Amino acid sequence: MTRRSPNVTGLTTNSFLAVLAAWLSFACTETPRPLAVAGPTPDSFRVAFTTNRGTFVVQANRAWAPNGVDRFWQLANDGFFDENRFYRVLPGFIAQFGANDDRKRNKRWEEQPLPADPPREKNTRGTVSYAMLDPTSRTHQLFVNLKDNASLDAQGFAPIGRVVEGMAVVDSIYDEYGDDPKYHLIATQGNKYLARMFPKLDYIKTARVVVPGATSK
């Protein structure tokens, strides 16, 4: 992020150094956004979701839904899921996430809907699919199936991967708000709206692609 240098007109040398030190301290405390990983999407990869409830890991498989997995790879490497709330959790059905606090970042992906992926896997418990109105409207919102949801198979929901670690964490996500949080308000007001109206929502702290061979903490 480009910042303007502090106005130092009329400052003594000591004052200038104090201002400069304070500015550098502020700049260094900002959490940098993850850099997008260069190169094509791997055939399969894992993303570790660290939440306020614990960590769960999703393995994405490009053979299941190439367009959807490519987008998931981009979103994860862009840090898009960081600080996302699980804003639509329906008991015994799904846990939905993928609404960023920054409306511009949501809009960026909403302007790039994905081509349809023919479903190749079933929406069984633990699988992850995109929320959609139709197969060509998928953008950046996803959900974890909390049970086998055969009704979603008939509607064309194409799973992109599966929770391979930490399904108990997903099961523990707060679900008493149900459908009450509204996406259009999240998209325009961000997490402030959710914190004010739905303070008990669980959330993703970070979501990171797991480097092969690395040990998850």
More confident residue, 85 or 6: 85
- CA 136 from chain center: how many Å? 20
- CA 35 from chain center: how many Å? 15
Instruction: Say what the pLDDT of residue 14 is.
Output: 52
Rounded Cα distance between 89 and 11, Å, is 55
Q: Are 6 and 24 in contact (CB under 8 A)?
A: no
Instruction: Say what the pLDDT of residue 173 is.
Output: 98
Q: Are 76 and 190 in contact (CB under 8 A)?
A: no
Q: Are 91 and 174 in contact (CB under 8 A)?
A: no
Task: Using a pLDDT cut of 70, give the percent of the chain over it.
Answer: 79
Instruction: Say what the pLDDT of residue 40 is.
Output: 87
Per-residue DSSP letter, 215: P
Q: Are 77 and 211 in contact (CB under 8 A)?
A: no
For 21-66, the pLDDT digits (tens) are: 444 444 443 444 444 454 689 999 999 999 999 999 999 999 999 9
Q: Are 59 and 51 in contact (CB under 8 A)?
A: no
Name, in order, each residue with C-beta under 8 angstroms of 142's C-beta and a sequence gap of 6 or more.
72, 96, 97, 98, 128, 129, 130, 131, 160
Instruction: Say what the pLDDT of residue 39 is.
Output: 65
Rounded Cα distance between 134 and 112, Å, is 14
- CA 113 from chain center: how many Å? 16
As a whole number, mean pLDDT of residues 91-105 equals: 96
Residues in the chain: 217
Minimum mean pLDDT range among 15-24, 32-41, 95-104, 187-196: 15-24
Tokens describing residue 186:
């999240």
Enter the pTM of the model.
0.81
Is 74 a residue whose pLDDT tops 80? yes
**Could you give the domains of the chain?**
44-209 (2.40.100.10)
- Taking only Cα atoms into account, the Rg of the chain, rounded to an integer number of angstroms, comes to 20
CA within 13 Å, CB half, 63: 3
As a whole number, mean pLDDT of residues 191-202 equals: 97
Is 216 a residue whose pLDDT tops 60? no
For 120-132, the pLDDT digits (tens) are: 999 999 999 999 9
Of 86, 99, 51, the closest CA to residue 204 belongs to 51
Is 12 a residue whose pLDDT tops 80? no
Task: Provide the pLDDT confidence category of residue 98 given band limits of 50, 70 and 90.
Answer: very high
Is 111 a residue whose pLDDT tops 70? yes
| Burial class of residue 112 in the structure, from the number of CB atoms within 10 Å of its CB (0-12 exposed, 13-18 middle, 19+ buried) | exposed
